[in-house]
């Protein structure tokens, strides 16, 4: 494998020898590139989230259903423009610089995984012996950072514009940032092994990033959910709940407005007061709600209460409205919802406990109040959820209360049981365990049956 610089019409390209690697009828390519050459052309684009911009956009739509549809359409049309990566860790980069400077055997044996935009997409245009350098180099009005893949017999070559931002790194940014801070003498001693995943839809690339970083490394789960949600062309459970989180966080009238830490972190420019209200992470919210639309939960004692609506895309907005109305009722009954410093009710522990309560009481609501009519859910208003939640005001969610500031799965169960024991709607059961058994026999079993109809 070798690289060489070629020049045509005043534009410089890095010509890279590639080795094709076939796996499951698909191909990616290996290359060896000297560090200074690669450091000049690579970029990482950290995922971003602008609450103010998204809120303004959300408020420009007549209602939440139109905004939800926009999110789906926008993700499909702009998928290739979206950014993904995690923010660089300065401490980790400093350790890499020291490693490079001080270790005699400072190897980087694992590959840098990268992507670049091709003018001749593997699936769309095909790669063959007729593809020539001149055809590519003489094309007018091509983006200056776009690359070209050429096949000669059984050999592949990649032509990359020798400018910054022409290669997008999917994995390996910290090693590269460490090399950038090292001396040029050290840089020149490093040949890098690059895995080019090229010619595929950007959603495939994001999926690779997700798999690499979620399954092999400890990385911010909210970031991974953001990527999966925004790069998936088809609606799946995680993508859907990602959009639900976005809507609830961006709609002014939502009880979760500006309360969800998208990407798992507070915006850089957020005030101390705004940061304090960011009481639940995107990942925690999705993890706590995804069961409501999961087919795997069918037939259990806590069934997927919103599965019917999830299966019909035109009914998706019913789920958003139901969650917004339920937690607006919580907010009205418990004003400490807006004081996460003094209360855990709007933090992960409290929100999850309340969601478990909703999971248990919804089959009762569906059978007794909605009369087994799926569409009737949209007529069940905030005031109706307030009625169901009467008694919640008697539960102590204070940070100095029985559950403290933090907790465990056991604490969540205790809070859930405490809430159920106070609800007038279900008769304030003294034995919550017995109540849940009776509810399962009387309502949940019937609800599970109706899910299959």
pLDDT confidence of residue 24: 85
- Asked if the model's pLDDT at residue 106 lies above 60, the reply is yes
Local confidence band at 128 (pLDDT 50, 70, 90 cut-offs):
very low
When mean pLDDT is compared across 1-5, 6-10, 119-123, 403-407, the lowest value belongs to 119-123
- Asked if the model's pLDDT at residue 267 lies above 90, the reply is no
Higher pLDDT, 194 or 64: 194
Residue ranges of the domains in the chain?
Answer: 3-46+84-200, 219-451
Q: Which residue, among 293, 209, 203, 304, has the nearest Cα to 244 in the 3D structure?
A: 293
- Asked if the model's pLDDT at residue 126 lies above 50, the reply is no
Higher pLDDT, 22 or 151: 22
- Asked if the model's pLDDT at residue 269 lies above 90, the reply is no
Residue-wise pLDDT for 40-55, tens only, equals 988 876 555 566 767 7
Is the pTM for the entire model greater than 0.85? no
């Amino acid at each position: 494998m070798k690289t060489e610089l070629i020049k045509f019409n005043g534009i410089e390209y890095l010509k890279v020898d590639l080795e094709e690697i076939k796996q499951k009828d698909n191909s990616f390519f290996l290359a060896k590139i000297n560090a200074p050459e690669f450091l000049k052309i690579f970029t990482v684009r950290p995922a971003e989230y602008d609450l103010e911009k998204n809120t303004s956009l959300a408020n420009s739509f007549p209602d939440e259903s139109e905004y939800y549809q926009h999110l789906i359409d926008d993700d499909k049309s702009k998928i290739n423009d979206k950014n993904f990566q995690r923010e660089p860790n300065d401490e980790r980069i400093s350790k890499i610089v020291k490693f490079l400077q001080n270790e005699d055997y400072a190897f980087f044996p694992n590959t840098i995984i990268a992507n670049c935009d091709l003018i001749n997409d593997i699936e769309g245009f095909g790669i063959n012996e007729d593809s020539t350098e001149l055809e590519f180099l003489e094309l007018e009005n091509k983006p200056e950072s776009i690359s070209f893949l050429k096949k000669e017999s059984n050999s592949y070559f990649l032509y990359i514009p020798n400018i910054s931002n022409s290669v997008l790194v999917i994995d390996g940014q910290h090693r590269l940032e460490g090399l950038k801070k090292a001396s040029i003498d050290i840089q020149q001693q490093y040949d890098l092994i690059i895995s080019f995943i090229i010619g595929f839809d950007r959603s495939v690339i994001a999926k690779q990033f997700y798999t690499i970083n979620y399954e092999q490394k400890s990385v911010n789960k909210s970031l991974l959910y953001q990527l999966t949600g925004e790069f998936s062309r088809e609606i799946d459970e995680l993508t859907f709940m990602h959009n639900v989180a976005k809507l609830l966080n961006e709609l002014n009238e939502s009880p979760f407005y500006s309360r969800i830490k998208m990407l798992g972190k507070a915006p850089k420019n957020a005030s101390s007061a705004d940061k304090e209200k960011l009481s639940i992470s995107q990942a925690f919210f999705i993890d706590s709600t995804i069961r409501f639309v999961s087919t795997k939960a069918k037939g259990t004692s806590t069934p997927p209460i919103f599965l019917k609506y999830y299966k019909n895309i035109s009914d998706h907005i019913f789920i958003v409205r139901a969650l917004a109305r339920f937690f607006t009722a919580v907010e009205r009954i418990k004003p400490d919802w807006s004081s996460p410093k003094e209360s855990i009710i709007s933090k992960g522990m409290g929100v999850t406990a309340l969601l478990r309560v909703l999971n248990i009481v919804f089959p009762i609501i569906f059978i007794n109040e909605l009369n087994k009519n799926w569409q009737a859910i949209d007529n069940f208003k905030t005031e109706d959820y307030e009625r169901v939640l009467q008694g919640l005001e008697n539960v102590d969610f204070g940070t100095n209360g029985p559950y403290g500031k933090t907790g465990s799965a056991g604490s969540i169960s205790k809070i859930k049981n405490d809430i159920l024991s106070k609800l007038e709607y279900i008769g304030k059961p003294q034995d919550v365990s017995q109540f849940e058994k009776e509810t399962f026999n009387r309502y949940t079993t019937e609800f599970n049956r109706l899910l299959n109809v």
